[in-house]
Structure 1
Amino acid sequence: MTKTAAGPDVRTYVPEGAVDPALKAILGEGSTQRPELVGANGERLLLPEAMYDVLRQVAEALDKGMGVTVAPKNARLTTQEAADFLGISRPTLVRMLERGEIPMEKPGRHRFVRLADLVDYQQHQRNQRREALERMALESERDGLYEATDGPPRRTR
Protein backbone atom coordinates (compact mmCIF):
# COMPACT_ATOMS: atom_id res chain seq x y z
CA MET A 1 0.00 0.00 0.00
CA THR A 2 1.76 3.11 1.21
CA LYS A 3 5.16 3.61 2.73
CA THR A 4 3.88 5.76 5.58
CA ALA A 5 1.88 4.69 8.60
CA ALA A 6 -1.80 5.63 8.70
CA GLY A 7 -2.42 5.80 12.42
CA PRO A 8 -1.25 4.35 15.72
CA ASP A 9 -2.40 0.77 14.97
CA VAL A 10 -0.66 0.56 11.58
CA ARG A 11 2.81 -0.86 11.15
CA THR A 12 4.86 -0.96 8.00
CA TYR A 13 7.14 -3.97 7.80
CA VAL A 14 10.16 -3.54 5.58
CA PRO A 15 12.19 -6.67 4.85
CA GLU A 16 15.78 -6.72 6.01
CA GLY A 17 16.54 -9.91 4.13
CA ALA A 18 14.86 -13.03 2.86
CA VAL A 19 11.96 -14.56 4.75
CA ASP A 20 13.09 -16.99 7.42
CA PRO A 21 12.92 -20.62 6.17
CA ALA A 22 10.90 -21.55 9.27
CA LEU A 23 8.24 -19.03 8.24
CA LYS A 24 8.17 -20.53 4.75
CA ALA A 25 7.66 -23.96 6.29
CA ILE A 26 4.78 -22.69 8.41
CA LEU A 27 3.13 -21.17 5.35
CA GLY A 28 3.98 -24.13 3.11
CA GLU A 29 1.52 -26.19 1.13
CA GLY A 30 0.65 -29.85 1.36
CA SER A 31 -0.52 -29.91 4.96
CA THR A 32 -3.98 -31.29 5.67
CA GLN A 33 -3.97 -29.87 9.20
CA ARG A 34 -5.53 -26.56 10.14
CA PRO A 35 -3.02 -23.71 9.63
CA GLU A 36 -1.21 -22.50 12.70
CA LEU A 37 1.36 -19.90 13.60
CA VAL A 38 4.33 -21.16 15.57
CA GLY A 39 6.33 -18.74 17.70
CA ALA A 40 10.06 -18.95 18.40
CA ASN A 41 9.23 -20.30 21.85
CA GLY A 42 7.12 -23.12 20.34
CA GLU A 43 3.78 -21.50 21.17
CA ARG A 44 1.16 -22.53 18.61
CA LEU A 45 -1.80 -20.44 17.50
CA LEU A 46 -4.47 -21.95 15.24
CA LEU A 47 -5.34 -19.67 12.34
CA PRO A 48 -8.52 -19.28 10.32
CA GLU A 49 -8.07 -19.91 6.59
CA ALA A 50 -8.52 -16.20 5.79
CA MET A 51 -5.65 -15.28 8.11
CA TYR A 52 -3.48 -18.00 6.56
CA ASP A 53 -4.05 -16.48 3.11
CA VAL A 54 -3.11 -13.00 4.38
CA LEU A 55 0.06 -14.23 6.07
CA ARG A 56 1.02 -16.18 2.98
CA GLN A 57 0.72 -13.05 0.82
CA VAL A 58 2.70 -11.01 3.35
CA ALA A 59 5.44 -13.65 3.50
CA GLU A 60 5.66 -13.84 -0.29
CA ALA A 61 5.83 -10.05 -0.62
CA LEU A 62 8.55 -9.80 2.04
CA ASP A 63 10.46 -12.61 0.36
CA LYS A 64 10.45 -10.56 -2.87
CA GLY A 65 11.86 -7.57 -1.00
CA MET A 66 8.64 -5.54 -0.99
CA GLY A 67 7.40 -3.55 1.98
CA VAL A 68 3.99 -4.47 3.39
CA THR A 69 1.56 -2.28 5.30
CA VAL A 70 -1.11 -3.83 7.48
CA ALA A 71 -3.90 -1.41 8.36
CA PRO A 72 -7.37 -1.76 9.85
CA LYS A 73 -10.04 -1.00 7.28
CA ASN A 74 -11.35 1.89 9.42
CA ALA A 75 -7.93 3.60 9.51
CA ARG A 76 -7.89 7.32 8.75
CA LEU A 77 -5.34 8.40 6.16
CA THR A 78 -4.00 11.85 5.40
CA THR A 79 -4.66 13.23 1.94
CA GLN A 80 -1.10 12.36 0.88
CA GLU A 81 -1.43 8.78 2.13
CA ALA A 82 -4.82 8.45 0.42
CA ALA A 83 -3.43 9.86 -2.84
CA ASP A 84 -0.49 7.45 -2.68
CA PHE A 85 -2.92 4.57 -2.08
CA LEU A 86 -4.93 5.50 -5.19
CA GLY A 87 -1.82 6.30 -7.25
CA ILE A 88 -2.85 9.89 -7.94
CA SER A 89 -1.53 13.31 -6.94
CA ARG A 90 -2.62 14.95 -3.70
CA PRO A 91 -4.19 17.97 -5.48
CA THR A 92 -6.25 15.62 -7.65
CA LEU A 93 -7.44 13.76 -4.56
CA VAL A 94 -8.33 17.03 -2.79
CA ARG A 95 -10.45 18.08 -5.80
CA MET A 96 -12.22 14.70 -5.69
CA LEU A 97 -12.85 15.11 -1.96
CA GLU A 98 -14.22 18.63 -2.43
CA ARG A 99 -16.57 17.37 -5.19
CA GLY A 100 -17.83 14.68 -2.79
CA GLU A 101 -16.62 11.71 -4.87
CA ILE A 102 -15.01 10.20 -1.77
CA PRO A 103 -16.21 10.86 1.78
CA MET A 104 -13.81 12.71 4.05
CA GLU A 105 -13.55 13.94 7.61
CA LYS A 106 -12.35 17.46 8.31
CA PRO A 107 -12.19 17.91 12.09
CA GLY A 108 -10.09 21.07 11.73
CA ARG A 109 -7.92 22.33 8.91
CA HIS A 110 -6.82 18.88 7.73
CA ARG A 111 -8.78 16.36 5.69
CA PHE A 112 -8.75 12.65 6.52
CA VAL A 113 -10.04 9.76 4.45
CA ARG A 114 -11.06 6.35 5.77
CA LEU A 115 -9.30 3.41 4.14
CA ALA A 116 -12.67 1.66 3.75
CA ASP A 117 -13.95 4.61 1.68
CA LEU A 118 -10.89 4.42 -0.58
CA VAL A 119 -11.37 0.69 -1.12
CA ASP A 120 -15.07 1.28 -1.91
CA TYR A 121 -14.15 4.05 -4.36
CA GLN A 122 -11.60 1.79 -6.10
CA GLN A 123 -14.16 -1.00 -6.43
CA HIS A 124 -16.77 1.41 -7.80
CA GLN A 125 -14.26 2.71 -10.37
CA ARG A 126 -13.35 -0.84 -11.42
CA ASN A 127 -17.02 -1.70 -11.89
CA GLN A 128 -17.62 1.43 -13.99
CA ARG A 129 -14.60 0.68 -16.21
CA ARG A 130 -15.67 -2.93 -16.67
CA GLU A 131 -19.21 -1.91 -17.64
CA ALA A 132 -17.91 0.73 -20.09
CA LEU A 133 -15.58 -1.79 -21.75
CA GLU A 134 -18.39 -4.33 -22.05
CA ARG A 135 -20.66 -1.68 -23.65
CA MET A 136 -17.88 -0.70 -26.08
CA ALA A 137 -17.27 -4.32 -27.06
CA LEU A 138 -21.00 -4.95 -27.63
CA GLU A 139 -21.36 -1.76 -29.70
CA SER A 140 -18.29 -2.65 -31.75
CA GLU A 141 -19.65 -6.12 -32.40
CA ARG A 142 -23.11 -4.76 -33.29
CA ASP A 143 -21.59 -2.19 -35.69
CA GLY A 144 -19.41 -4.83 -37.37
CA LEU A 145 -16.13 -3.19 -36.41
CA TYR A 146 -14.44 -6.51 -35.71
CA GLU A 147 -15.06 -7.70 -39.27
CA ALA A 148 -14.08 -4.31 -40.71
CA THR A 149 -10.68 -4.39 -38.99
CA ASP A 150 -9.96 -8.08 -39.59
CA GLY A 151 -6.87 -8.79 -41.68
CA PRO A 152 -4.09 -6.52 -42.90
CA PRO A 153 -4.71 -2.77 -43.03
CA ARG A 154 -6.03 -1.26 -46.27
CA ARG A 155 -3.58 0.46 -48.59
CA THR A 156 -4.08 4.21 -48.54
CA ARG A 157 -1.86 5.08 -51.55
Structure 2
Amino acid sequence: MATALNRVVEEIAPPTSEEQREATRAAVSRILSDTAQVALRLPGGAEYHLDAEELRALLAIGLARANGQRVSVISHDVMLSPQQAAELLGVSRPMVYRFIERGDLAATRVGTHWRLLTADVLALAEHRTRLAESVETGLDHVARTMDSSDRGTAAEDGAKESRRAATPEQKKASLERVRRKARSRRK
Protein backbone atom coordinates (compact mmCIF):
# COMPACT_ATOMS: atom_id res chain seq x y z
CA MET A 1 0.00 0.00 0.00
CA ALA A 2 2.89 2.40 0.67
CA THR A 3 3.87 2.32 -3.01
CA ALA A 4 0.32 3.21 -4.05
CA LEU A 5 0.55 6.45 -2.08
CA ASN A 6 3.53 7.58 -4.17
CA ARG A 7 1.72 7.41 -7.50
CA VAL A 8 0.22 10.51 -9.13
CA VAL A 9 -3.14 8.82 -9.75
CA GLU A 10 -4.57 6.03 -7.66
CA GLU A 11 -6.80 3.78 -9.78
CA ILE A 12 -9.58 1.87 -8.05
CA ALA A 13 -11.28 -0.85 -10.07
CA PRO A 14 -15.01 -1.48 -9.78
CA PRO A 15 -16.31 -4.56 -7.98
CA THR A 16 -16.11 -7.62 -10.20
CA SER A 17 -19.50 -9.13 -9.36
CA GLU A 18 -23.05 -7.95 -8.91
CA GLU A 19 -22.98 -9.25 -5.32
CA GLN A 20 -19.99 -7.02 -4.52
CA ARG A 21 -21.71 -4.01 -6.16
CA GLU A 22 -24.85 -4.70 -4.12
CA ALA A 23 -22.78 -4.94 -0.91
CA THR A 24 -21.16 -1.59 -1.78
CA ARG A 25 -24.61 -0.04 -2.42
CA ALA A 26 -25.83 -1.34 0.95
CA ALA A 27 -22.76 0.07 2.75
CA VAL A 28 -23.22 3.47 1.08
CA SER A 29 -26.91 3.48 2.02
CA ARG A 30 -26.03 2.74 5.66
CA ILE A 31 -23.41 5.50 5.66
CA LEU A 32 -25.90 7.96 4.14
CA SER A 33 -28.35 7.32 6.97
CA ASP A 34 -27.81 9.86 9.72
CA THR A 35 -27.13 7.16 12.28
CA ALA A 36 -23.96 5.74 10.70
CA GLN A 37 -20.47 6.58 11.88
CA VAL A 38 -17.44 5.57 9.86
CA ALA A 39 -14.12 4.76 11.46
CA LEU A 40 -10.96 3.01 10.38
CA ARG A 41 -9.63 0.37 12.72
CA LEU A 42 -5.86 0.77 12.83
CA PRO A 43 -3.35 -1.94 13.72
CA GLY A 44 -3.41 -2.35 17.48
CA GLY A 45 -7.17 -1.65 17.65
CA ALA A 46 -7.11 2.16 17.67
CA GLU A 47 -9.83 3.84 15.59
CA TYR A 48 -9.67 6.87 13.32
CA HIS A 49 -13.03 8.57 12.68
CA LEU A 50 -13.46 10.09 9.23
CA ASP A 51 -14.30 13.81 9.07
CA ALA A 52 -17.02 15.17 6.76
CA GLU A 53 -14.74 15.71 3.75
CA GLU A 54 -13.15 12.26 4.06
CA LEU A 55 -16.59 10.72 4.35
CA ARG A 56 -17.80 12.64 1.28
CA ALA A 57 -14.84 11.32 -0.73
CA LEU A 58 -15.45 7.78 0.52
CA LEU A 59 -19.12 8.02 -0.46
CA ALA A 60 -18.25 9.30 -3.95
CA ILE A 61 -15.88 6.38 -4.46
CA GLY A 62 -18.44 3.93 -3.06
CA LEU A 63 -21.27 5.23 -5.26
CA ALA A 64 -19.14 5.07 -8.40
CA ARG A 65 -17.98 1.55 -7.61
CA ALA A 66 -21.56 0.48 -6.77
CA ASN A 67 -22.47 1.58 -10.30
CA GLY A 68 -19.63 -0.51 -11.74
CA GLN A 69 -17.39 2.47 -12.55
CA ARG A 70 -13.61 2.70 -12.28
CA VAL A 71 -12.44 5.52 -9.97
CA SER A 72 -9.29 7.65 -10.04
CA VAL A 73 -8.08 9.61 -7.02
CA ILE A 74 -5.57 12.42 -7.57
CA SER A 75 -4.23 15.25 -5.41
CA HIS A 76 -4.83 18.80 -6.67
CA ASP A 77 -1.28 19.82 -5.68
CA VAL A 78 0.51 17.29 -7.90
CA MET A 79 2.41 18.47 -10.98
CA LEU A 80 1.47 16.60 -14.15
CA SER A 81 3.21 16.08 -17.46
CA PRO A 82 1.37 17.21 -20.60
CA GLN A 83 0.64 13.54 -21.36
CA GLN A 84 -0.93 12.99 -17.94
CA ALA A 85 -2.95 16.21 -18.33
CA ALA A 86 -4.12 15.04 -21.76
CA GLU A 87 -5.31 11.74 -20.28
CA LEU A 88 -7.12 13.56 -17.48
CA LEU A 89 -8.80 15.96 -19.94
CA GLY A 90 -9.55 13.28 -22.52
CA VAL A 91 -7.70 15.17 -25.27
CA SER A 92 -4.46 14.69 -27.18
CA ARG A 93 -1.09 15.88 -25.90
CA PRO A 94 -0.81 18.43 -28.75
CA MET A 95 -4.16 19.85 -27.62
CA VAL A 96 -2.71 20.38 -24.13
CA TYR A 97 0.14 22.36 -25.72
CA ARG A 98 -2.47 24.46 -27.58
CA PHE A 99 -4.25 25.13 -24.26
CA ILE A 100 -0.91 26.29 -22.83
CA GLU A 101 -0.13 28.50 -25.87
CA ARG A 102 -3.60 30.11 -25.79
CA GLY A 103 -3.32 30.77 -22.06
CA ASP A 104 -6.21 28.45 -21.22
CA LEU A 105 -3.93 26.35 -19.04
CA ALA A 106 -1.11 27.58 -16.80
CA ALA A 107 2.14 25.63 -17.08
CA THR A 108 5.63 25.82 -15.66
CA ARG A 109 8.89 24.91 -17.36
CA VAL A 110 10.96 22.43 -15.39
CA GLY A 111 14.19 22.18 -17.33
CA THR A 112 13.07 21.46 -20.87
CA HIS A 113 9.69 19.99 -19.84
CA TRP A 114 6.31 21.53 -19.13
CA ARG A 115 4.54 20.72 -15.87
CA LEU A 116 0.94 21.54 -15.00
CA LEU A 117 -0.75 21.73 -11.62
CA THR A 118 -3.56 19.18 -11.29
CA ALA A 119 -5.90 21.84 -9.86
CA ASP A 120 -5.43 23.95 -13.02
CA VAL A 121 -6.10 20.96 -15.29
CA LEU A 122 -9.25 20.08 -13.34
CA ALA A 123 -10.40 23.73 -13.46
CA LEU A 124 -10.02 23.70 -17.25
CA ALA A 125 -11.95 20.42 -17.44
CA GLU A 126 -14.77 21.97 -15.37
CA HIS A 127 -14.77 25.10 -17.54
CA ARG A 128 -14.96 23.00 -20.72
CA THR A 129 -17.82 20.96 -19.24
CA ARG A 130 -19.78 24.11 -18.36
CA LEU A 131 -19.12 25.54 -21.83
CA ALA A 132 -20.30 22.33 -23.52
CA GLU A 133 -23.42 22.27 -21.34
CA SER A 134 -24.26 25.88 -22.23
CA VAL A 135 -23.79 25.13 -25.93
CA GLU A 136 -25.95 22.02 -25.52
CA THR A 137 -28.64 24.10 -23.82
CA GLY A 138 -28.50 26.63 -26.65
CA LEU A 139 -28.74 23.94 -29.31
CA ASP A 140 -31.68 22.35 -27.49
CA HIS A 141 -33.39 25.76 -27.36
CA VAL A 142 -32.88 26.19 -31.09
CA ALA A 143 -34.24 22.69 -31.73
CA ARG A 144 -37.33 23.42 -29.58
CA THR A 145 -37.85 26.72 -31.38
CA MET A 146 -37.62 24.95 -34.70
CA ASP A 147 -40.05 22.28 -33.45
CA SER A 148 -42.61 24.91 -32.53
CA SER A 149 -42.47 26.68 -35.90
CA ASP A 150 -44.56 25.43 -38.79
CA ARG A 151 -41.96 26.59 -41.31
CA GLY A 152 -39.74 23.53 -40.83
CA THR A 153 -38.36 21.99 -44.01
CA ALA A 154 -37.51 18.35 -44.54
CA ALA A 155 -33.81 19.22 -44.15
CA GLU A 156 -34.48 20.94 -40.80
CA ASP A 157 -36.55 17.97 -39.64
CA GLY A 158 -33.72 15.62 -40.61
CA ALA A 159 -31.18 17.79 -38.79
CA LYS A 160 -33.32 17.85 -35.64
CA GLU A 161 -33.76 14.08 -35.72
CA SER A 162 -30.01 13.57 -36.26
CA ARG A 163 -29.28 15.85 -33.31
CA ARG A 164 -31.62 13.92 -31.02
CA ALA A 165 -30.17 10.56 -32.06
CA ALA A 166 -26.51 11.64 -31.80
CA THR A 167 -24.28 10.17 -29.12
CA PRO A 168 -22.42 12.53 -26.75
CA GLU A 169 -19.21 11.85 -28.72
CA GLN A 170 -20.93 12.80 -31.98
CA LYS A 171 -22.32 15.97 -30.41
CA LYS A 172 -18.83 16.84 -29.10
CA ALA A 173 -17.29 16.28 -32.55
CA SER A 174 -19.98 18.46 -34.13
CA LEU A 175 -19.33 21.21 -31.58
CA GLU A 176 -15.60 21.05 -32.34
CA ARG A 177 -16.29 21.41 -36.09
CA VAL A 178 -18.43 24.50 -35.40
CA ARG A 179 -15.65 25.99 -33.24
CA ARG A 180 -13.03 25.35 -35.95
CA LYS A 181 -15.22 27.05 -38.56
CA ALA A 182 -15.78 30.03 -36.25
CA ARG A 183 -12.03 30.35 -35.61
CA SER A 184 -11.21 30.12 -39.32
CA ARG A 185 -13.74 32.89 -40.08
CA ARG A 186 -12.15 35.16 -37.47
CA LYS A 187 -8.70 34.84 -39.06
**Equivalent in the alignment of 2:76:** 73
Give the deviation of 1:88 after TM superposition: 1.1
Match of 1:106 among 104, 109, 113: 109
Structure 2 Cα separation of the partners of residues 127 and 94 of structure 1: 21
Gaps of 5+ in 2: 156-187
Aligned to 2:127: 124
CA distance in 2, matches of 1:41, 1:60: 30
| Structure 1 runs not aligned, ≥5 long | none
Q: 1:60 to 1:127 in 2, by over 3 A?
A: closer
What is the CA–CA distance in structure 2 between the aligned matches of 1:84 and 1:124, rounded to whole Å?
17
Specify the alignment match of 1:145 in structure 2.
Answer: 146
Q: 1:101 is paired with a residue of what secondary structure?
A: coil
Cα shift readout 1:24-74 (whole Å, capped 9, x = no counterpart): 9876614604322223543211112321131233356567584x4432212
Alpha-carbon distance between aligned partners in 1 of 2:56 and 2:81, rounded to the nearest angstrom = 28
Looking at structure 2, the residues matched to 9 and 123 of structure 1 have their Cα atoms a distance apart, in angstroms, of: 23
* Structure 1 range deviating more: 121-130 or 77-86: 121-130
Q: Structure 2 counterpart of 1:107, which letter?
A: V
Inter-partner Cα distance in structure 2 for 1:134 and 1:70: 30
Q: Which residue in 2 is equivalent to 1:12?
A: 10
SS in structure 2 opposite 1:102? coil
CA offset digits 1:114-156 (Å, max 9, x no partner): 1111111111112222222333333444xx411358xxx79xx
Higher relative contact order (CA 8 A, sep 6+): 1
Once residues 147 and 27 of structure 1 are traced to their aligned partners in structure 2, the CA distance between those partners, rounded to angstroms, is 44
C-alpha RMSD over aligned residues: 3.9
Paired residues of 1:26 and 1:36 also in contact (CA < 8 A) = no
Judging changes above 3 Å, is the alpha-carbon distance between structure 1 residues 26 and 42 closer, same or farther for their aligned structure 2 residues?
Answer: farther
User: What is the alpha-carbon distance in structure 1 between the residues aligned to residue 84 and residue 59 of structure 2?
Assistant: 25
Q: Which amino acid aligns with 1:12?
A: E
Q: Aligned partners of 1:96 and 1:115: how far apart in 2?
A: 14
State the distance in 1 between where 2:27 and 2:55 align.
Answer: 10
How many equivalent residue pairs? 145
Give, in whole Å, the separation in 2 of the partners of 1:58 and 1:10: 17
| 1:55 maps onto 2:58 in alignment | yes
Equivalence for 1:37 = 40
